[in-house]
Amino acid sequence: MRRAFVLTIVLLATATAVAAEQSFDQRVSEARLHMRAACQAVQQMAKAPVAEQDTLKTRATKDVSEAERLWTDLAKTYAVKIPDGYAGDPAWAQRLEDIRLNIARMRSDIVAGHWRPGFLSCAHACGLIATMHEANGVVLAIDAMTVVRKKVGLARGLLAAGSTQKAMALVKEIMAARDAVLLSPAPATPNRNAYLAALSELTQSVDALATAVRTGADVKASLDKLAVIVERVYELAI
């Protein structure tokens, strides 16, 4: 009886810890979704007609302000109440604050109409979140997808610049990065099922790219198609 009671207590404690960690990751996810929306609006700004820029600026300002609010609340809660998986990180509270500062800088840049600095602040904040995970040995799908996204973007840039061989040489790295995604736990968010369903399409598209390289087919078309799928899976992974 005593052993059963102790086991029950241990299971309850474990469940509570997992719930707390999921709560932290979900709150991070919510803030990141607003950051991504703001970043996308800023990216559109460069190509948008003047008549549409006010709408995009309003949208970006609203999303980045919400991201800042969410992260500020998150930082206040978890700077002291450290979630499981992150305990023992001597730079924990500072990491949360550094991310908050970059989101705040992003908001200031957007409000001032400084689109490029705003975009860079967003990218820096996302990079700091990835570093926070890496420093604590936390493996999330969004971090693995970030690597895939970066390598696909680099390959497309090389191809556009005429460096075809260098672009094709990256395909092996893209395949390895895709495999890392498949080995990462699915996000504990409402998008979980959609994310899992999209993984097969991601895999098929990466394999199609490898086939294009091997057979001498249209690598650009395969990369362009893969880039669209990567963006969708990336957003589902947040």
Residue 21 has pLDDT above 80, yes or no: no
33 and 126 fall within a common domain: yes
183 and 96 fall within a common domain: no
pLDDT, tens digit, 9 for 90 and up, residues 62-117: 999 999 999 999 999 999 999 988 998 999 999 999 999 999 999 999 999 899 99
What does the alpha-carbon distance between residue 123 and residue 150 come to, in Å, rounded to a whole number?
12
What is the domain extent for residue 177? Answer: 141-237
Would residue 6 count as lying in a domain? no
Please identify, among 70, 101, 135, the residue that sits at the C-terminal boundary of a domain. Answer: 135
Please identify, among 109, 135, 161, the residue that sits at the C-terminal boundary of a domain. Answer: 135
Q: Tally the C-alpha atoms within 13 A of residue 129's C-alpha that lie toward its C-beta.
A: 28
What does the alpha-carbon distance between residue 67 and residue 60 come to, in Å, rounded to a whole number?
10
101 and 159 fall within a common domain: no
44 and 58 fall within a common domain: yes
Give CA 27 to chain center in angstroms.
Answer: 13
Q: Number of folded domains in the chain? A: 2
pLDDT, tens digit, 9 for 90 and up, residues 111-151: 998 999 999 999 999 999 999 999 999 999 999 999 999 99
28 and 115 fall within a common domain: yes
CATH code for the domain in which residue 84 is found = 1.20.120
154 and 115 fall within a common domain: no
Would residue 15 count as lying in a domain? no
102 and 203 fall within a common domain: no
185 and 208 fall within a common domain: yes
Q: What does pTM read for this prediction?
A: 0.83
